[in-house]
Amino acid sequence: MSTALPSDAADHAQASPPGPDATVVLGEAEIARALTRIAHEVLERNKGAQDLVLLGIPSRGVPLAARLAARIAEVEPGLDAAQLAGSLDVTMYRDDLRQHPTRTIGTTQLPVDVDGKVVVLVDDVLFSGRTIRAALDAISDLGRPRAVQLAALVDRGHRELPIRADFVGKNLPTSQHERVRVLVSELDGRDAVLIEGAHA
């Protein structure tokens, strides 16, 4: 895994423990606030939760999508959070497979048919945009949504494709050398956003 580029840091469920130089940029409370805000923005933008499907991108996008769904369900009465959120694995659509060790394929689980729906893709870190490019391809093989939107907990810039997020938890200007890692309690035991390797 030592060859992994920064953009992949968040893809690996079993990430190594944070290095000694890791700086915490968002804590548990800030992440919670950011997600709550995004949930409201999603509702506002789409004028409610009608036809909404939240698809998290494995690994850490999946619990984030579930949390967003839970928050939306709290606000919008009569919604079942479980029917709102799912997962979308993009591994088999990536364009950089050959530059990395073989990736484990995640699960694609759609709570409903995506035809005619508004799909909100949920990822932890938005970086080069290549993951989202793969996600768009993956969705188009699954059906034809009315619209696709993107929510990212962290946008760290350095886009390589014409892709932007509709909902951002925090814009985090970084250098290419740095490594941004999102920890979620469901997988990592705690919530945090870290920057590592600033001096690497």
Nearest CB to other proteins, comparing residues 108 and 174: 108
In the complex, least distance from residue 27 CB atom to other proteins, rounded to whole angstroms: 31
Measured between alpha carbons, how far is 146 from 46 in angstroms, rounded to an integer?
Answer: 12
Residue pair 176/54 in contact by the 8 Å Cβ criterion: no
47 binds other proteins (CB under 8 A): no
As given in the structure block, the two tokens for residue 43 are 């509702």
Which amino acid does the sequence have at 79?
Answer: L
Residue 126 burial (CB count, 10 A)? 29
> 115 near 143, Cβ under 8 Å?
yes
Binding mask 78-117 for other proteins (x = CB under 8 A): -----------x-xxx---xxxxxxxxxxxx---------
User: Burial letters for 42-52: b for 16+ Cβ neighbours within 10 Å, e otherwise?
Assistant: bbeebeebeeb
What's the min distance (Å) between Cβ of 72 and other proteins? 26
Task: State which of positions 52-81 bind other proteins (CB under 8 A).
Answer: none
Q: Are 57 and 85 in contact (CB under 8 A)?
A: no
Q: Between 124 and 143, how does the x/- string for binding to other proteins read (CB under 8 A)?
A: -------------x---xx-
| Residue number, 128 or 174, with CB nearest to other proteins | 128
145 contacts other proteins (rule: CB under 8 A): no
Tell me the C-alpha distance between 88 and 143, whole Å. 13
Any contact of residue 7 with other proteins (CB under 8 A)?
Answer: no
Least Cβ distance, residue 15 to other proteins (angstroms): 14
The site for other proteins (CB under 8 A) is made up of: 3, 89, 91-93, 97-108, 137, 141-142
